[in-house]
Structure 1
Amino acid sequence: MRPPDARALLVLATTLVAGFGTVFRNGFAFDDDILILSNPTIKDGTLFWATLFDSFFAETVNEGNLVFFRPLVKASYFATYQLFGAVPWPYQTANLLLHLLNAWLVHRLARTWLRLRARGALAAALVFLLHPVQTEPVAWISGRTDLMGVAGILGAVLLAWRWLLVPRPSTLALLLFVDLLGLLSKELAVITPPVLAVLVWHRWPALRRRPGLPRRFAALMILLLALTALFFAVRAVALAGTESPEIWPTHSQHTWRFVIPGTVLLYVRLILWPHPYTLDFNTGNFPVVTSPAEVTFLLWCAGCLALAALTAGTLARRHLAGVALALFLLGVGPVSQLRPLVVIGCERYTYFPLIGGAVLAGAMVQRLRLSPRALAAAAVVLLASVSLWNASRIRLWRDNLTLFTYAFEANPADRHKQYVLAKVLLGLGRPGDALAVLHENPMGRFDHPTHLELEGVALVNLGRTDEGIARLRECVAMNMTPTCICAIGMVAIGSVDASGIRQTRCVAPREPVPVDFYTLRVPSLPIELPGGRPSMELPNAPPPRDTSSDGGSCSAAGDAGAGSFALVLFALVGLAFVSRRRR
């Protein structure tokens, strides 16, 4: 390693410790409980090898809800658990080392493919390393999927640079192996071929002069595409029969596509201004449109068209800004609701797209006419400020109580966060606090039997046994909807209308409800309950709250509509101005 590169690596390592050192105060949170603490496949070697190429959530409570193919990440959890057990610091150390590796690879990408000088390349790597949106995939142990997947993409394109200049069989074999590792870590790695194509286009005037390089590039693209096709074939065979249910983010299979332009602009906004933090974006804190004629949707489309036009124009001129924007769009594409998921967006999905923003920042720093001392002083002040900002974000991932207390306070309309927080409080022996949380959003109890179940358990733990049993017996899921939204003696009939919206009607049954109807419990609830169903004054509940009509305003997301559009448009105009070539 040359001295300048060694110094850059030392600066990155020191900055990583300063910016993310507080992560070791954290424990396991969120999906860490499912994927590590309660995952039998990483505790038993026989079960691990039997399920290695099954769904990522195989043998866990999310097995039927989330179907991903990430055997390499599962293998990393297995190895860490077998060596260290269920203590968080080894997992956190692995995440930090992977993040440092990716920052170093961004530095090498800027130096080789993008021809930035040492100052600009180091600035790009530092922005990627310390940007506030990176706290989620780095501080959260289960964010390792993004770290490993991006490492595979960056490693493959850097090895491609070496092989295109000096075609050695060992380099080609290592390139394909690294790309395969990325594919086995996260499906995002399917973008390696188009990323490489963008980089080669950027350097084509210089590369085409080398003898045989066009043919080598064509052969390499064929190999990478064949490897990607093979990955999809193996994935289809491995996951056959384990399809996840389609959970429409807008609760409608006909309107969810309308959020795609808004999601793209959301990620632009997160890179430009990632504040305030929100765990994820869904219908509770993101504007949802139901018609292409709505003003919000038209603004989103205008912003995306402006972004696409700027990308195409600068990329056609082989300008660095075009490469950066193309890297952003290629990274956003696979996560912008191209398939139904209940989550519209979250910060961990910006891990690869941020590379584009980091490259632009590095190019701007390279153009600054400041003395090395002045630039170093400004960098120290800026990095120290961002490190303090990140420390407050990292603290949110300390444990489930800290994370979901913040998430629910930031977005009280999110009934999932309400349920998880109440469940965490109940597990900590605080049933009174759990009950108070459940009562903060009473609409949740009419939509989810699990809320009523949790309320019943909390009441029993508080000594209010009769009330608790009443809650536990009140809600039975039938006909696509919970019966607890109806008055006593009525039953719920669920259906889906032409637009994909769930409709519920409370009707009188043809025959009286059997006495044992409300004793039909799921296995997690008591099988036998004393007495008959108690008389409760429960009128027909109002229909579930339609979050698509309230504009999605929330303190956690800020103004994600016109305000985000204005911010993004301002950034695009500024980028277009600075990217013009000097005459």
Structure 2
Amino acid sequence: MVLERFWSAQAIRMIALIGLLLVIVFLGFGHSLVHDFAPIDDTLLVRENLAIRGLSWENLRYVFTHFDPELYIPLTFVSFQINYVLGGLSPFGFHLGNVMLHVANAYLVFLMLQTFLKDRSGKSRFSSTGVAAFAGALIFALHPLHAEAVVWIAGRKDLLFTFFYLLTLVLYLRGREGAHRNAWYWGSVLCGLLALLSKATAMTLPVILLLVDWFASVAESRDSPLRRRLLFINKIPFFILSFLFAFIALSGKERIVGSSSMLDTGLVAIRSFGHYLWQFFVPIGFSVFYQQRDPITLLDPYFAVPLIVILILSAVSWYFRRSKPWIAFGFLFYLTTLSPTFFNFHKGLISFYAVDRYAYLPSIGVIFVVMMLLQHFLKKIPPTIKSQIHLNSPAFAQATVGRQFSILNFLSLIFIIVPLVVLSRHQTRIWDTPESLYAHAVAVDPASVPARATLAQALRQMNRNSEAFAILKEGLTYGDDVSYHLEAGNIYAANGQVGDAITEFTKASKMKPDLPEPIFSIGNLEEHRGNIDLALEYYSKALALDPSYVGARVRIADILIDRGELAEAEEQLVEALRWNESYFGANVQMYRLRMKQGREEEAKMYLERAKALRPGEAIDPLTP
């Protein structure tokens, strides 16, 4: 009898909700299953990453002792290893994994919102139990702001850490409410550790748990110094783990943190705060690049307006902290979970103020406030109007939320689902090809340097060099940039116009003398001209600017092997493989080196690794 009640009241409800979320998510993001690997990071992290080729002890040891190369995300790599075991390097399996994780996260959002959307008596704040939580889960599941995290395979780290982050909150909340508190608590600590192993951005967990305790204490009208002390003590394991992983994260980001002043960092953080709010409520104009080009100053409305919004929200949160604590909770959840991204506004030559996937978890705070505002609005509807539109639907109630369901609720859900499905499907299709992805970025911001440079690169790789040049020339009307000269040099080199290519690379080097890429490119062209000594000089200069420049080490080693300077070549290749053991060229050259040294067994190992990295690429057989 108990088992029957369980299946009728709990399991069926859970299965129905997950099934409905699954269908809805596939409507929005299912098209990503036919995508190939994306042109950004997917090759580095998945396609040409030997460490994800199976669940061997060696692979596990590697991912738990190395960065990616900037982030420490070992559990994310383990999830890629599982994908490889199940389906090899087929992108379908990796995309399916992302979609299923997003479905799981949407369900966890439902569970969390269902707990928070209860009044002080423990009853639902809404007349239809769970409808508000489900509406919030729908917004999370379908919002096009989340497309980047779901559609991009490398976005797995944001999906995975959010899964364990939300699971930590759900278990912690369960421990507050019922029996077996120790089991729920230590389960939440374990999930917190797994979240940090997925991505160190989860370091905000202890602060959010304190925020949860504060919100619950206000809602439950029970607080005392002893209770506050005990609640703080049980956060100690979370704080210890967060500080540890924050230190690890800073180790990987050492060259990025500190590349701008604290004032500039603060102002760009303010802009990003406002940008994500705008994109949430006005879900158009998404891009893979949000370049920060203009001077950073409070006189710019892009910085001033978000600052005013922050000050207003802070004042409102403080004023209503007792009567309407949900305002402060949602605002602080959004701000706190977004804060780790405030120090990550540089990558390569790009300075940017936003990345869509960074808002994946913080958006839950905004969704919570929206649901509470909706509840406040529904309370204002006169009873006479409610009685006219109310409808009982026992069948739907039994299958989903178990309570009365109204026409108003149904229409509200349809109003949420339809436009968000349309928008999310459109955003998913933008990721169909590198050309469509970067062309859209140019359409959103025609002055975006990274958008134009990467679009020109994509066109060049398709041998559409004249179109690539046109994209770069049009970009010059918005201002010159080193990236344009780098890509122009690559196009000239592809056309065999070596002199013009060297001219462009030289311009790029003069514009940014500490940049190794143009110097390396000149060395590569000189090598093809037969000027080996000059090429070696350029490669050495590039390496001096960036010791992690694996390509430069590989070209130096190639020259040294040809000259018979095998010990020096080995030194370069060992360092290259230390930086990236899955670098194709390093494995090929190490194969050559070992063959020259008469170490054929080792040579075969490197040859097999090179073939595994690029199965279709021909590698000349060598003999000692």
TM-score (norm 2): 0.69
Count of aligned pairs: 478
Residue 69 to residue 459, structure 1, CA distance change in 2 (3 Å) = same
Q: Does 1:421 align with 2:455?
A: yes
> Which of the residues 327, 333, 336 maps onto 2:333?
327
**Pairing of 1:523-562 with structure 2 (within 5 A):** 524-529=524-529
Per-residue CA deviations over 1:299-355 (Å, capped at 9, x if unaligned) read 443222112212233334353232222211112222234775522102211111211
Q: Which residue of 1 aligns with 2:398?
A: none
Q: Which residue of 1 aligns with 2:92?
A: 89
Unaligned runs of 5+ in 1: 59-66, 461-467, 486-491, 496-501, 503-517, 534-583
Q: Deviation at 1:391?
A: 1.0
Q: Does 1:457 align with 2:493?
A: yes
Q: Which residue of 1 aligns with 2:53?
A: 43
Higher fraction of helix:
2
Residue 306 to residue 212, structure 1, CA distance change in 2 (3 Å) = closer
Contact 2:266/2:342 (8 A) holds in 1: no
> Which of the residues 220, 230, 241 maps onto 2:244?
230
Q: Distance in 1 between matches of 2:519 and 2:175?
A: 68
Q: Distance in 2 between matches of 1:20 and 1:234?
A: 33
Match of 2:286, SS state, is: coil
> Which of the residues 251, 264, 268 maps onto 1:255?
264
Contact 1:476/1:520 (8 A) holds in 2: no
The sequence identity of aligned pairs, in percent, is 21
Q: Distance in 2 between matches of 1:8 and 1:103?
A: 10
Q: Distance in 1 between matches of 2:94 and 2:286?
A: 23
Residue 96 to residue 215, structure 1, CA distance change in 2 (3 Å) = same
Question: Greater shift after overlay, 355-364 or 366-375?
Answer: 366-375
Q: Does 1:20 align with 2:32?
A: no
Q: Which amino acid aligns with 2:489?
A: E
**Pairing of 1:1-20 with structure 2 (within 5 A):** 1=10, 3-20=12-29
Residue 199 to residue 143, structure 1, CA distance change in 2 (3 Å) = same
Contact 1:20/1:391 (8 A) holds in 2: yes
Q: Distance in 2 between matches of 1:168 and 1:84?
A: 39
Residue 454 to residue 315, structure 1, CA distance change in 2 (3 Å) = farther
> Which of the residues 317, 320, 327 maps onto 1:314?
320
- The Cα RMSD (Å) is 3.3
Per-residue CA deviations over 1:198-245 (Å, capped at 9, x if unaligned) read 121112153848999656523321221122223335556xx47x7334
Contact 2:148/2:356 (8 A) holds in 1: yes
Q: Deviation at 1:177?
A: 1.1
Contact 1:57/1:68 (8 A) holds in 2: yes
Question: Greater shift after overlay, 391-400 or 429-438?
Answer: 429-438
Residue 338 to residue 119, structure 1, CA distance change in 2 (3 Å) = same
Contact 1:519/1:529 (8 A) holds in 2: no
Q: Which amino acid aligns with 1:137?
A: A
Match of 1:69, SS state, is: coil
> Which of the residues 436, 447, 469 maps onto 1:402?
436
Q: Distance in 1 between matches of 2:305 and 2:202?
A: 31
Match of 2:490, SS state, is: helix
**Pairing of 1:53-202 with structure 2 (within 5 A):** 53-58=64-69, 67-115=70-118, 116=124, 117-165=129-177, 166-202=179-215
Contact 1:151/1:182 (8 A) holds in 2: yes
Q: Which residue of 1 aligns with 2:233?
A: 219
Q: Distance in 2 between matches of 1:408 and 1:451?
A: 16
Q: Which residue of 2 aligns with 1:380?
A: 414
Residue 198 to residue 295, structure 1, CA distance change in 2 (3 Å) = same
Q: Does 1:278 align with 2:280?
A: no
Q: Distance in 2 between matches of 1:362 and 1:281?
A: 29
Per-residue CA deviations over 1:352-392 (Å, capped at 9, x if unaligned) read 12112222333344453453134314423541232122111
Question: Greater shift after overlay, 77-86 or 444-453?
Answer: 444-453
Q: Does 1:355 align with 2:364?
A: yes
Structure number with the bigger relative contact order (C-alpha 8 A, sep ≥ 6) is 1
Q: Distance in 2 between matches of 1:278 and 1:199?
A: 33
Q: Which residue of 1 aligns with 2:503?
A: 474
Per-residue CA deviations over 1:460-480 (Å, capped at 9, x if unaligned) read 3xxxxxxx11122224569xx
Q: Distance in 2 between matches of 1:132 and 1:519?
A: 40
TM-score (norm 1): 0.73
Unaligned runs of 5+ in 2: 1-9, 119-123, 379-385, 391-405, 535-624
Q: Deviation at 1:408?
A: 2.3
Residue 313 to residue 332, structure 1, CA distance change in 2 (3 Å) = farther
Question: Greater shift after overlay, 103-112 or 81-90?
Answer: 81-90
Residue 293 to residue 423, structure 1, CA distance change in 2 (3 Å) = closer
Match of 2:529, SS state, is: coil
Q: Distance in 1 between matches of 2:414 and 2:309?
A: 35
Q: Which amino acid aligns with 1:441?
A: G
Q: Which residue of 2 aligns with 1:244?
A: 255
Contact 2:257/2:344 (8 A) holds in 1: no
Q: Which amino acid aligns with 2:191?
A: V
Q: Deviation at 1:123?
A: 1.0
Q: Does 1:439 align with 2:445?
A: no
